[in-house]
Amino acid sequence: MSFVWVIATVFASGFQVARNGLQRSLMPQTGPWGATLVRFLFGLPFSSALAAVFIVALPLVQPEFNCAFWSMAILGGATQLLATAALLVAMQRAGFAVGTALQQSSIPLAALVGLVVFHDHLRPLAWLGVALTTLALGLLTWPKEATGPKPRTGALFGLASGLAFGFSLNAFRYASHALAPAHPIYGAVVSLCVVQAMQSLALGAILLTWRPKVITAVLASAQQSWGAGFCGALASIGWFIAVALAPAAPVRAVGVIEAPMAAFAGHRLFKERLHLIQLVAGAAVAAGVLLTALG
């Protein structure tokens, strides 16, 4: 399954761009936290259905709901919640394409956390790809090239999103392995269902207590929210499978393919203008992704 993680990552990247676009369009009605809830609450039925299929199809697999799994699932779920909200604010302030690309700052952090905490050793070619991709993204997303109304604060939120995503991906990788060590894809799918249930319950309860109007706005936008939930569930399934099969750093590096996807979507959907420096950096991103995948 050496290249299954690459296919899963590309699959996840495409649906993540679609989900981000739908979530951004919901923000005027729901705000960033309401749009974040949409991702998990409306994605839960789809991830639950897939988990049920795996449980029925593989009845002999006995998932291990131990302390290691719960600690990593909770850590990953919490940091992903923060990352998603920060990403939506970044896209609103710095532009759809730039906000999406800035959260890719999780690449170097995911590599370091994976090396220090989880002892994931990458080959030199993969490290070169991670470095090149990170450098290209820095060029691609320099705040003065942003197209949103508040590019500098948007850049900070984008970097915060990348920081939180770096933690969450490594946590999800470990949670999947702790749940079903011999069946990583099974562990990834069931872990996703459990994590999304916790995220929906926790964020829903917080908003119901402190921001009930946000819950009302989310329910009022249900028709559009189902599309975001569906795309979000498919994206999450791809990410969980990818990090169950490969270290988080190369997965994030290959996932940078969503940056040119987001640039195209931002240009077509939100009329955002692309700059020459972004186009040049895009070629460097593609080279970095290739090196990482081959490494």
Residues contacting 153, CB < 8 A, separation 6+? 93
Radius of gyration, alpha carbons of the chain: 18
Report which DSSP code applies to 295: -
Condensed to tens digits (0 to 9), the pLDDT of residues 73-98 reads 999 999 988 887 787 787 777 676 66
Lowest mean pLDDT among 7-16, 55-64, 119-128, 229-238: 119-128
Q: Are 244 and 192 in contact (CB under 8 A)?
A: no
In whole numbers, what is the pLDDT of the chain averaged over residues?
80
pLDDT of residue 143: 47
What is the average pLDDT across 104-129? 67
Calculate mean pLDDT across residues 26-37: 86
181/251: higher pLDDT: 181
* Whether residue 55 has pLDDT greater than 90: yes
Q: Please name the residues in contact with 96: beta carbons below 8 A apart, sequence gap of 6 or more.
A: 20, 21, 24, 262, 265, 266, 269, 270, 272
Residue 271 has pLDDT above 90, yes or no: no
Q: How much is the pLDDT for 159?
A: 76
Q: Tell me the C-alpha distance between 13 and 264, whole Å.
A: 13
Distance CA 178, CA 71 (A): 10
Dmax over Cα atoms in the chain, in whole Å? 55
Evaluate whether 259 touches 14 at the Cβ level (below 8 Å). Answer: no
